[in-house]
Amino acid sequence: MQVNGEPSFRESVDLMFNRAVSLMDLSPGLEQKIRVCNSTYTVRFGVRLRGKLETFTGYRSVHSEHMEPVKGGIRYAMSVNQDEVEALAALMTYKCALVETPFGGSKGGLCIDPRAWDEHELEQITRRFAYELIKRDLIHPAQNVPAPDMGTGEREMAWIADQYARMNTTDINAKACVTGKPPHAGGIQGRVEATGRGVQYALREFFRHKEDAAKAGLSGDLDGKHVIVQGLGNVGYHAAKFLSEEDGCKVIAIIERDGGLVNENGLDIEAIRQHLNANQGSVKGFVGGTYIEDGASLLEMACDILIPAALEGVIHKENAPRIKAPLIIEAANGPITFGGDEILRKKGTIIVPDMYANAGGVTVSYFEWVKNLSHIRFGRMQRRAEEARHILLVDELERLSSEKGVSWTMSPGFKERYLRGAGELELVRSGLDDTMRGAYQAMREVWHSRPEVEDLRVAAYLVSIGRIAQTYQTKGL
């Protein structure tokens, strides 16, 4: 499938894969085994809605089962098609290997405009779709574990989990059949924010390596950096919020489906979110920024960091030459086409690739799956014991200082912060931060140690394909 003379999304992913494997010493057979999508199941089902039978088309692709379960989100959008689902499933395989979550890659999608149906109707459609997948083990705690993606969230995941439990009444691990559930329905603290939080941690790690930032012509840390975000949905909203509220970034433009907003002094992300909620997702009429009808043109505005966090293929051969950002972090999956990527690379733009940049979601999904299988909240056993040990130490320090007549006082708030044991949210964030730092370091090690590796994307593929190949070889394939 050709779009504007460019390869399709799946072909783009394969071409990027080929660039990397040309630098590896894999047998052609193994190379092909890793590249291909193992299977795609298409389901067409009917639901009686508004007095008539509506037929829906959905997909679940399994790209690689070198590890099971396989993992990947379910997307609801009218644009969903087999090529896209297979491309996204492939990216899941590479992403899981890169951030060391023990899963193969999968993805699902339903051709539907979720805004065209009310909540009760969406529940009926979701349960029917889930039924079709569950009865074929395409949703299963040990075999295939979906998660949210564009157009789906906690609510849909809770319906899927409940549907699975109804069809598998004696499965004690039923809740682990899907991740991204609300915390009261077996989810985990910090999952909703996880992908955006991961983007923040990825950028922090990037700026910790001064020579990497220098390659993009940037210096210092995130403080004061000018940022543009496309898509203020789950991923884009959280990334923009954390970067502006916690790291001192200025979000100077955001791009949504009906236009963009610009404010060189920094946009108030929380206020825009409230405006979107109150105006059926429209940015028009927001008073804290200038409205620009041609939102996509803002991708070309000067800034330090560009964060595409909406759709695939938004930066392509045509607009890539005009992109001014020296650093692009791919919060969305596949936002840069193969052709666009080539042009940007030649210009010296540094691209933090999707398979790393948005891996925060699957990382915290992994924690949620482990929590479901262990049937206990993280930190429940250790938290108070940890607090007790800290109290012991602080009490002893205070006793020693009073005995020796030394007069010192702890800084305000220190005692309270030090004594507090880590709860689930702190542990999740700590695990996520560690994962994002570790994966970045693995990529940059390859980037800097092999002169033929031009960019972080190829470095990411090399790390990831190397690990997948090892798994296949160990299995004796």
Q: Which stretch binds ligand NAD (CB under 6 A): 215-223, 243-251, 261-269, 331-339?
A: 331-339
Active-site pick, 107, 225, 241, 371: 107
Minimum distance, C-beta of residue 451 to ligand NAD, in the bound complex (Å): 31
Distances in Å between the Cα of 431 and the Cα atoms of 174, 239, 435, 440 are 24, 18, 6, 14
Summarize the chain as % helix, strand, coil (round to 5). 50, 15, 35
Minimum distance, C-beta of residue 277 to ligand NAD, in the bound complex (Å): 11
Question: By CB under 6 A, is residue 281 in contact with ligand NAD?
Answer: yes
**How far, in Å, CA of 196 to CA of 154, rounded?**
15
Subset of 143-162 contacting ligand NAD (CB under 6 A): 148-151
Question: By CB under 6 A, is residue 358 in contact with ligand NAD?
Answer: yes
Shorter beta-carbon distance to ligand NAD: residue 212 or 312: 312
Q: Which residues does residue 146 pair with via DSSP β-bridges, in sequence order?
A: 72
Q: Give yes or no for a contact between 338 and 444, defined as CB atoms under 8 angstroms apart.
A: no
Question: By CB under 6 A, is residue 141 in contact with ligand NAD?
Answer: no
Shorter beta-carbon distance to ligand NAD: residue 186 or 361: 361
Q: Are strands 327-329 and 350-352 parallel, antiparallel or unpaired?
A: parallel
Burial 33-43 (b: 16+ CB within 10 A, else e): bbbebbebeeb
Residue 100: CB atoms within 10 Å: 16
Question: By CB under 6 A, is residue 361 in contact with ligand NAD?
Answer: yes
**Which residue type, as a one-letter code, is found at position 476?**
G
Q: Which stretch binds ligand NAD (CB under 6 A): 9-17, 244-252, 329-337, 448-456?
A: 329-337
On the 0-12 / 13-18 / 19+ scale of CB atoms within 10 A, 320 is buried
Q: Give yes or no for a contact between 301 and 292, defined as CB atoms under 8 angstroms apart.
A: no
Shorter beta-carbon distance to ligand NAD: residue 69 or 233: 233
Q: Which stretch binds ligand NAD (CB under 6 A): 218-226, 327-335, 380-388, 443-451?
A: 327-335
Question: By CB under 6 A, is residue 40 in contact with ligand NAD?
Answer: no
Shorter beta-carbon distance to ligand NAD: residue 21 or 252: 252
Shorter beta-carbon distance to ligand NAD: residue 227 or 232: 232
Distance of CA 11 to the CA centre of its chain: 21
Q: Which stretch binds ligand NAD (CB under 6 A): 40-48, 53-61, 64-72, 227-235?
A: 227-235
Question: By CB under 6 A, is residue 255 in contact with ligand NAD?
Answer: yes
Q: Give yes or no for a contact between 254 and 272, defined as CB atoms under 8 angstroms apart.
A: yes
Q: What is the Cβ-side half-sphere exposure of residue 153, based on CA atoms within 13 angstroms? A: 10
Subset of 174-213 contacting ligand NAD (CB under 6 A): 195
Minimum distance, C-beta of residue 321 to ligand NAD, in the bound complex (Å): 20
Closest listed residue to residue 94, CA positions, set 15, 13, 38, 23: 13
Active site residue 52: no
Shorter beta-carbon distance to ligand NAD: residue 111 or 394: 111
Positions marked catalytic: 107
What residue ranges bind ligand NAD (CB under 6 A)? 148-151, 195, 230-236, 255-257, 281, 295, 309-311, 331-333, 358, 361
